[in-house]
Structure 1
Amino acid sequence: MTNPKVHAPSPADLEGDLASLRGDCARMAPHWTAPDRAAARPVPPSLIHGVSVPPASARLLDAMSEYGD
């Protein structure tokens, strides 16, 4: 089934350039605060449940080399 709606591409620049966008972001940055970073802790395997991997995906992952090889 095809989508009968055709969307025209939007213009690349509506009201300014990249410098203008960066300026807008710099002015808004003080209004947004990032949460304090919490230290990530390992999760014990006993708390991980409900994850299932299809056999084809498990074979694919098993065939991949370890990261950093």
Structure 2
Amino acid sequence: MTKLKVHGTAPFEEGDLASLRGDCARMVPHWAAPERAASRPVPPSLIHGVSVPAASARLLDAMSEYGD
């Protein structure tokens, strides 16, 4: 487990978006973005092992398409 170092305390009020954005801005230098990998579609023949319960399939089948 990694030991976290605390350099100070920052007041945080739950629901305070400005505090959350400030925390995120201070953490940006510590985050490394991965190199962008080109995503390719997976052929349907490689997709297997997915099962959907009948009740869920009926529920999804009864839903309208997005944007209706």
TM-score, normalised with respect to structure 2 = 0.60
Could you tell me how far 1:67 is from its partner in structure 2? 1.6
Which runs of 5 or more residues in structure 1 are unaligned? 1-13
Q: Secondary structure at the residue paired with 2:26? A: helix
Q: How does 1:1-69 map to 2 (within 5 A)?
A: 15-17=10-12, 22-69=21-68
Could you tell me how far 1:33 is from its partner in structure 2? 0.9
- The amino acid that maps onto 1:29 is V
Q: Distance in 2 between matches of 1:57 and 1:20?
A: 40
What is the RMSD computed on CA atoms of the aligned residues?
Answer: 2.4
Q: Distance in 2 between matches of 1:35 and 1:47?
A: 26
Bigger radius of gyration among the two: 1
Count of residues paired in the alignment:
56
% identity of equivalent residues: 82
Q: Distance in 2 between matches of 1:21 and 1:52?
A: 39
Which runs of 5 or more residues in structure 2 are unaligned? 1-8
Per-residue CA deviations over 1:27-67 (Å, capped at 9, x if unaligned) read: 33112111022232211111110001111111001001112
Answer with 16-25 or 33-42: which moved more.
16-25
Higher RCO (C-alpha 8 Å, min separation 6): 2
Runs ≥4 in structure 1, deviation > 6 angstroms?
none
